[in-house]
Amino acid sequence: MSKFKLAIILASLIMADSALAGEKEIAERIRKVGDVCIEGEDCGQAATPMTIAATGGSVEDNYNKSCATCHNAGIAGAPKMGDAADWESRIGKGMDTLYNSAINGMPPAMPQKGMCFSCSDEDLKALVDYMVESVH
Ligand code: HEC
């Protein structure tokens, strides 16, 4: 092998190495910005200020933590808990539509998952049932 070839091989090895390091650095930066640390999880040293409270609690707990803010007072036109008139037209759309609105949100004012980011689809369906039952 000539010295020239060896130099090229060495150079490409060094370049490959620094390219990898660069990727790792970028991934690290993306992770820091996009990382969401769920309460109760080991968030490591890179814990971000954005911590979402994990609920995993009862329907009442989830309601009080995530939905009550808007649905108790009827903020931005949210159908009020226990208000039959508010819910009548909503219930008329069918439960599946209401479940879907809770899971995917209803722009502009009803947020995705009703802000309960630790809620599973099943949790959200239970919450909708709970709200609908409040007027039955
Ligand atoms: C930031 C305020 C806010 C929070 C928090 C919120 N909602 Fe809502 N929600 C609204 C508003 C506003 C509407 C009415 C939207 C419209 O009619 O355009 C609504 C409507 C709904 C509807 C009726 C959807 C339909 O198809 O008519 C359901 C069901 C619902 N919310 C469930 C929930 C649940 C469950 C939670 C908690 C996990 C929750 N919401 C949290 C604001 C909120």
Ligand 1 center to residue 39 CA distance, Å? Answer: 24
Task: Answer whether 0.95 is exceeded by the pTM.
Answer: no
Contact 67, 131 (CB under 8 A): yes
pLDDT one-digit tens code per residue, 9-35: 666 665 666 555 565 565 555 455 455
Measuring CA to CA, which residue among 130, 133, 119 is closest to residue 55? 119
Ligand 1 pocket at CB < 6 A: 66-67, 69-71, 75-79, 90, 93, 97-98, 101-102, 106, 109-111, 114-116, 124, 127-128
- Residue 27 structural domain: 3-51
Q: Given the DSSP bridges, would you call strands 51-52 and 37-38 parallel, antiparallel or unpaired?
A: parallel
pLDDT one-digit tens code per residue, 77-101: 999 999 999 999 999 999 999 999 9
* CATH code: domain of residue 71: 1.10.760.10
Claim to verify: residue 75 and residue 46 sit in the same structural domain: no
Claim to verify: residue 66 and residue 121 sit in the same structural domain: yes
Claim to verify: residue 67 and residue 127 sit in the same structural domain: yes
If one counts the domains in the chain, the total is: 2
